[in-house]
Every structure is written in C-alpha cells, then in structure tokens.
Structure 1
Amino acid sequence: MVKAFGYRTNGGPEVQEFLELDMPTPMPGELLVEVRSAGVNPVDWKIRQGLFGGASEGDLPAVLGSEVSGVVRGVGKDVDGFAENDEVFGSVAPGSGAFTEYTLVTANAAARKPPQVSFNDAATLPVAGATAYDGVTQLGLREGQTLLINGVGGGVGVAAAQIARDLGVNVIGTGSEDKRALVETLGATLVPSGDGVGERIRQIMPDGVDAIFDLAGGEALRAVADLVSDKTKLISAGDPSVGDLGGHMMERDRTSRVLEIVAQLVADGKLDPHVEDVRSLDEAADAVAAVEIGHARGKVVIAVS
C-alpha cells in the first residue's frame, strides 16, 4: 500500500486526511515515480475546496498536490526518452496527486532533473517555475521596461521576478511587508499591498508600468489594473475576471521544453526557487496551511523520501 495525503470530499482543511492506496500502474504516456519531493501551491487547496468544481464520486478519494520530483520506477506504453531509475520532475497525471510515496506523472509534462538541481528545487518547477516563465515570456518585455508582479512573494512571483530580472526588466512587486527582505534579494521593489496600493505604485511610476503579471486576483487585481495602458500587457494566472478589465488569462505551455529551460536556469544559478519551508509527508497538513493562510515566503515543499 502507498501512503498519501488527500481528501474524500471537497471542503476546508478539516476534510484532509492520510490515505492508504494501492500502488498505481502507469497507463500509456505515463511514468510511475517514487516521489522524493512535492511542491505545495495555492491551486492545491483551491481544488480541495471545490473552487474549480466539485469532485465526482469516481475521482474520490483524491490526493493533494500537482508537482513532484523523484525517480522513475515504471514506464507506461508509448513513452520515449525515459527509463527506470531516471531522476525526473513534472506534473502529475490526471487523477493522480503529489503528496504521496508513489504517483503517476504525464511523460510529456516531465523532464530529467539536472544533477546540479536538488529534488526539493526541482519539485517547484512544473507549476511555479514554469508558470513564471510562461507569463514573463508571453509579455514580451524589452530590456529597461517595468513589470508589475501583483503578488510577488509566493513561489510563482519569486521565480517570475528573477526571470524578468535576467532579461533586464525592472520589477515592482506587491506583497505583504513581511516579505520585503525576500523580494529585495530578487532585485525587485516591494510595494505593500492593500488599500492605496495603486497610489503607492504611482508615486514610484507616475506614468504607470509597461506590463502586469497578476498572481493575486480579486480586488488586488482591480486595484492595479489601470496602471498599464496597453491591456494586451495585462495577464492573470488565476482570475478570469481579468478579461473584464481588458486583459487576458496567461497561456500555459505545459511541455517538457519549458521544464528543461527552467531547470537549466536553476542549474546555471540564474533562478533560485527559494524553497523556504520543507516539511515531511507526516507534516503535509501544516505545509498546506502555510500556503492556504498566505504566510509562506517563497516555496513550501514536502520532502517525501
């Protein structure tokens, strides 16, 4: 049996529990991975909550988590480029989860882990690192332009700030004051979020910014949307209402190509995922809570084995 952390019904933290599941079998296009580390993301608790639609009976129990690193222990049919014992990282296959000892990973959404990259760092790349890369590159900013990252203190924001900085783009980020030290190490300028955030940014950039990469959504998005005049440069990673403001949802690549690029950035020392909190699988509830409450600085990772 395989130990996992998940839920049997949608709801708040109270529905989370440890599960004992059968060893998964890789289907065509999938890898069986012995999990070393799993990244924790806001999308994990939102799925548990049912914010993207409630889980059907056939999908339960469900395992939390969506990105992992580990060692290949089985290869499904129609998979090229991977073999048993390969060290890999990637996104879990549909119906699978990350907070577990063994999981299934979609082969075309996985990549080999460079030896210079730790399992903990690699586990942050399929969701946070790749989302950051996709968002920054889609905006097509030139050297010397200014990007506002709305919600810079989380895993995606931390990665996006570094990727943009590497391109010669100036970065302003909104976030809580307690994340100032982290944000400033990224070469970014922190503007405290909350009431009056738009005016505080205008004090630094009277003419607004060249682009906005929104990672906060809701009222926080609406508070800054008018800071960019070219609405093609307003994108959000999670709030479809960005369309009502003239912007659009960012597009995800979700392929091995992007994973290989961001892993190389880590290997080259250009991208530090800033894994600030590592918990054991037994502490999975605490790891989810750190992200759900919003107190996490950088990335939270569950080290499974």
Structure 2
Amino acid sequence: MSVSADSSRTAAGLIRNATLIAGPTASGKSALALRLARANGALIVNADSMQVYDVLRVVTARPGEADLGQAPHRLYGHVAPTIAFSTGSWLRDVAALAARDGERPLIFVGGTGLYFRALVEGFAEMPTIPPHIRDRWRYKLHEEGPDKLHRILRAEDPKMAAALRPGDGQRIVRALEVLETSGRSISEWQADSRPALIDRASASFQVIEPDRAVLVERINRRFDRMVEEGALDEVAALLALDPDPAVPAMKAIGVRELGEVLADRMPLADAIERAKIATRQYARRQSTWFRNQFGPEWQRISGFE
C-alpha cells in the first residue's frame, strides 16, 4: 500500500502512480490516506461529493485542523453550499490540480463511487433534469408505451432514435428528457465527455470493507461527536443562506434532521437517532455499490483506526 514518490504525468497526460482509497462513511479511509501521505509526502485529494462544500465541515466529516496540519489536503470545502456541484465540475478541478501539483504523489480518498469511476473511465456530464420533466416522461411511458415515445424521439432526434430499440423505454425516456431540458441531443452530451485522468496501469486501488458491527459503532459514536462539535450551528449557518432545497448540500445526512430541531419540530435525541439510522443505511448502499461496481483491480482491505 505504498505510494510512489514519482507521480509524473504520462505522455497522454494521465496521472501516474495515483492511489485511490474508497470506502463507506466512517470506515477509516481518511486515516489510511493520512498515514500514507505522511510517509510519502503525497497530496490527499477529496473524492467525496459532500466534503467539497464549505460551511458543513463537521456534518460532512471533513478532515479537521489536526489532520490538515499533518499533510496537504485539496478540494475540501472549496465550494459554496448554495451551488449544485457536479461530477464534471469535480473532474475539472482534479485536472487543474494535477496540472499544478502533479509532480507530487496524489491520494484520492472518499466515498463517492461515481467520482472514482469518472477518474478511471471518464465521464459524460449530463444536464440536471427538473422533476416535473422527468415525472411527465415517465408517466407518458407508463400510459402510452415505449413505441409511441420512440416515434416522438424519431421526429425530434432521429440520430438518437436510430441508435435505440423501439422497446427500450428507459433509454428513450432518458433521451427525451435530456433533449427537452437542454435543447441538445443526448448523443451530443455523450460526445462531449471528459476523458479518464488516471493511468490505470500504475495506480493503486484500495476499497475498505469494514466489519459491519464495528462500522455501526463508529457511525453512532461519530454522530454524537458531531453534535458535540457544533453540527447544529453548521446547519443553522447553512439554512441562513436560504439555499435551494434541491442543491446537494441540503441532502447531506444530518441537515434535514438537525434542521427539524432548529425549527422546534423534533427533539434533539430523535434527530440524532434518525441521522444515525440514515448514515447506517447510506454506508450499506455505499458498500453494495463498491462491491458490485469495482473490478478485480481493487484490493479489498478490512479498515483502519
């Protein structure tokens, strides 16, 4: 699990000798990254979609001052929580970081599987579909069937229609909702994809698979500590910005629950318990995603304190 001191770019511009550390929340991945960075002088790069946001340091379990003092950290807390930050935006930030600091070893650590996939495979950024558009096309699919929607797509986007089977309802709906939202064919969005940034041949891939009972205990202890360290104040500061309820930062675990406490609609003890349950459920989903989506190049490790 060492990190090479040679982290130069390949001729194709890919990042060589990167270390990727994934794992569910509270699994000890940040501690592992910090240990490796101290030993090898590496930069730790955030690969968690919630830890990019400012204001929510405690709620999203961003590294604290003690950790920041032991190794350089990048792409943590650099985005206003009122912004809908995307995977494509993160990739652009990573590319800029690698161009600036790419001679140092880079350790990518986090719990967002899509970030890791985008690093290794590239990513086609798509527009955010408004709920009313998504719901309408799904209703049409249910009521009218895929053949009717395929005829609509053929009239509006013949190139994409020719690439889809008339019975492939889900992909037809996706093409129609992207077209309506953006005015561009989904094929254009796919052609404008961002390339992979990591040289797979020289990278180290590690995913933490912690003992379930230990992980539950760590999650429970950590959220108690978050409340002690000012999570309520952070949520109050976020809500004072009056963000759009749809922005990702509003979906951070603990925001809704502690927001109910601040609004005098829920006792603190109930909010803490609900947040712990939500965190455990999220960790389970993360573990399932990593188990099903990560290939054999990923080394499975048990976790670290």
Higher helix share: 2
- With the shorter chain as reference, the TM-score category is under 0.3
TM-score in terms of structure 2 length: 0.27
TM-score in terms of structure 1 length: 0.27
Higher strand share: 1
Structure number with greater Rg is: 2
- Which has the bigger relative contact order, CA under 8 A and spacing at least 6? 2
